[in-house]
């Protein structure tokens, strides 16, 4: 069954008004420049780098004083080789050195489990199906 244009538009509007980040809708996020989008993603991942204690060994004294991740990538870090992952603060490291740790923390704190795969794997094959 095909969707009407009105239904497509309604669904698109619904998505645009849903949250992209805990403090920002898709519509608001889409209006930002690439650097601003990167900064918003970094704000989110700072919660997880703080949880992991990256501030303890951070090069930025502001992070160590605050005992929390407060850093954002500089223009030099955006251009550095190997490049920094633009969705993560500088403490994650060039080339995303600690990126997997942060992603794992996001999964754990977000309520995910080891087996987040769909539980239903289709109809089970029997010996009669193989014949």
State the pLDDT at residue 82: 80
State the pLDDT at residue 130: 57
Contact of 101 with 89, CB cutoff 8 Å? no
- Whether the ω angle into residue 82 lies within 30 degrees of 0, i.e. cis, is yes
State the pLDDT at residue 70: 95
pTM of the model: 0.73
Distance CA 62, CA 64 (A): 6
Mean pLDDT, consecutive 10-residue segments, the chain of 131 residues?
86 90 92 94 94 92 94 91 89 88 89 58 59 55
């Amino acid at each position: 069954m095909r969707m009407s244009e009105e239904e497509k538009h309604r669904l698109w509007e619904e998505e645009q008004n849903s949250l992209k980040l805990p403090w920002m809708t898709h519509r608001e996020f889409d209006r930002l420049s690439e650097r601003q989008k990167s900064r918003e993603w970094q704000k989110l991942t700072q919660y997880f780098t703080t949880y992991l204690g990256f501030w303890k060994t951070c090069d930025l004294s502001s992070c160590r004083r605050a005992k929390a991740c407060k850093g954002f990538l500089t223009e030099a870090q955006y251009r550095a080789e190997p490049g920094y992952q633009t969705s993560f603060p500088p403490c994650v490291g060039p080339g995303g050195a600690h990126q997997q740790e942060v992603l794992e923390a996001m999964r754990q704190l977000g309520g995910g489990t080891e087996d987040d795969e769909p539980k239903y794997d289709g109809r089970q094959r029997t010996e009669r199906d193989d014949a």
